[in-house]
Amino acid sequence: MFGELYLPTILCKVYRTLEYLNGISDQDVRRLRSAGIRHTNQLLHRTSLDIDRKRLSRKTGITAARLFEFANQCTLLEVSGMDRWIPLMRRLGISSMKDLRAQDPGDLHTKLVEAIGLAGAPTLSAVQYWIGQSSGLDIVEEPEPERVIPVVR
């Protein structure tokens, strides 16, 4: 009887749709959805390795370089509490976990305060937390350099 009164709680994570990504076109969204990718978390896991980006590029017609850019955006969306600040971070030149990890927390906080004002800026502890998370969430493999095959004459 007790179990009938209280329904089990179902926890569900909210995933962002592909349209949330900066610079993604309607055509890119259609192509990715036709490949079974519906949200940014799926895109991140399907594009974290260079070989997977190349495979998805062949399947969708979206360049591997563009998929790499989308993967970097997806990783930034995974940082807890940072999604609101991502457009500003891009303007500051931070477009990947590697860029975020290279930042000094104090300097980045100062830049954010200068851009927004003290009342609207994230706290220094939030910025420190983001940079701390950047090491654990940096799962996107850098593209392999193109090998130049010498021509024998």
Per-residue pLDDT at 13: 54
Output the domain CATH number for residue 36. Answer: 1.10.150
Among residues 78, 101, 117, the one where a domain terminates is 78
Is 99 inside a domain boundary? yes
CA distance 107 to 91: 15
The alpha carbon torsion through 33, 100, 132, 42 (nearest 10 deg) reads 10
**Residues 73 and 98 both lie in one domain:** no
Q: Which two tokens stand for residue 110?
A: 């100062």
- The pTM (predicted TM-score) of the whole model is 0.80
DSSP assignments along 52-71, one per residue: HHHHHHHHH---HHHHHHHH
**Residues 69 and 120 both lie in one domain:** no
Among residues 35, 53, 78, the one where a domain terminates is 78
DSSP 8-state secondary structure symbol assigned to residue 121 = S
Is 6 inside a domain boundary? no
Could you give the number of structural domains in the chain?
A: 2
CA distance 21 to 136: 21
Domain, as residue range, for 26 = 15-78
Is 144 inside a domain boundary? no
**Residues 71 and 99 both lie in one domain:** no
Per-residue pLDDT at 9: 42
CA atoms within 13 A on the CB side of 77: 21
Side chain identity, residue 74: C
Task: Please answer whether residues 128 and 100 qualify as being in contact, where contact means their C-beta atoms are separated by less than 8 angstroms.
Answer: no
Q: What is the pLDDT of residues 87-128, one digit of tens each?
A: 999 999 999 999 999 999 999 999 999 998 878 889 999 999
Per-residue pLDDT at 135: 81
Task: Please answer whether residues 90 and 99 qualify as being in contact, where contact means their C-beta atoms are separated by less than 8 angstroms.
Answer: no
Mean pLDDT across the stretch 42-57?
95
Task: Please answer whether residues 94 and 102 qualify as being in contact, where contact means their C-beta atoms are separated by less than 8 angstroms.
Answer: no
Q: Between 149 and 115, whose confidence is greater?
A: 115
Per-residue pLDDT at 2: 47
Is 146 inside a domain boundary? no
**Residues 56 and 33 both lie in one domain:** yes
**Residues 48 and 33 both lie in one domain:** yes
**Residues 91 and 106 both lie in one domain:** yes
Encode 28-55: b = buried (16+ Cβ within 10 Å), e = exposed. Answer: bbebbeebebebbbbbbebbbebebbbb
CA distance 18 to 6: 35
